[in-house]
């Protein structure tokens, strides 16, 4: 409940979500959202480029992860770097009831779902690039990103579903679940038997 809640912005976001729920996303206009929030269209466009961006607001998560990654000491393992960066995510998480509505609007609208998938993929690309800049090889950067994003998505989902735990605990629980799932893979004892890297 911090940074993102510029009061104007939050009002616009909540007004938009209310209208999306009541009359549908497609039938809602920017003018209606602004009016419903008691604000002008001009203030809407100060915060969002269009009504879709209310749902995918800004790049706080991306900025949060990039800043978080930059703070981790050099020589930290790739996945450990991401796990450390994830601890700052609660600062940019919307309130639970906003997230629930936001996810419901996206889930009900195929173009919005596609947009959401693309945003996620872009976030993964930016994250993998940040790891590469820290000296991790391509393969490590990609695999750590895949694992990290799976853990983050799981923790966020649990949080949205209402689990009563702080975000760090949810992250740790999801990491433990991921390791339990990964225990299916044959253990690696030595470097032999691995495919050569390119």
| Contact yes or no for 148/86 (Cβ under 8 A) | yes
* Contact indicator for 155, 93 with CB cutoff of 8 Å: no
The pair of structure tokens assigned to 170 is: 């949810």
CB nearer a second copy, residue 39 or residue 150: 150
3-state secondary structure of 26: coil
Half-sphere exposure of 141 (CA within 13 A, CB side): 16
Q: Which is nearer to a second copy, 5 or 154 (CB)?
A: 154
Q: How far is the CB of 134 from a second copy (least distance, A)?
A: 13
Give the shortest CB-115-to-a second copy separation in angstroms.
9
Nearer to a second copy, 44 or 86 (CB): 86
Q: How far is the CB of 187 from a second copy (least distance, A)?
A: 7
The rounded distance, in Å, linking the Cα atoms of 16 and 30 is 8
d(CA 106, CA 51): 12
Q: In the complex, which residues of this chain contact a second copy (CB under 8 A)? A: 77-80, 83, 114, 117-118, 120-121, 139-140, 142-144, 146-147, 149-150, 153-154, 158, 161-163, 165, 169-170, 172-188, 193-196, 198
Nearer to a second copy, 57 or 83 (CB): 83
CA-nearest of 8, 17, 171, 180 to 90 is: 171
Q: How far is the CB of 89 from a second copy (least distance, A)?
A: 15
């Amino acid at each position: 409940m911090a940074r993102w809640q510029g009061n104007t912005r939050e009002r616009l976001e909540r007004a938009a979500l209310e209208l999306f729920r009541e009359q549908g996303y497609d039938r809602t206009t920017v003018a209606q959202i602004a009016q419903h929030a008691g604000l002008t269209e001009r203030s809407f466009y100060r915060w969002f480029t269009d009504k879709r961006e209310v749902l995918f607001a800004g790049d706080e998560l991306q900025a949060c992860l990039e800043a978080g990654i930059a703070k981790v000491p050099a020589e930290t393992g790739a996945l450990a770097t991401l796990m450390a960066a994830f601890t700052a995510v609660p600062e940019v998480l919307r309130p639970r009831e906003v997230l629930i509505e936001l996810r419901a609007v996206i889930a009900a609208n195929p173009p919005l779902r596609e947009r959401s998938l693309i945003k996620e993929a872009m976030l993964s690309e930016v994250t993998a690039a940040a790891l590469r800049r820290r000296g991790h090889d391509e393969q490590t950067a990609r695999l750590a990103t895949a694992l990290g994003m799976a853990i983050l998505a799981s923790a966020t989902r649990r949080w949205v579903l209402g689990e009563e735990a702080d975000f760090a605990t949810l992250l740790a629980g999801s990491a433990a679940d991921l390791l339990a799932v990964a225990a299916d893979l044959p253990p690696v004892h030595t470097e032999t038997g691995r495919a050569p890297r390119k």
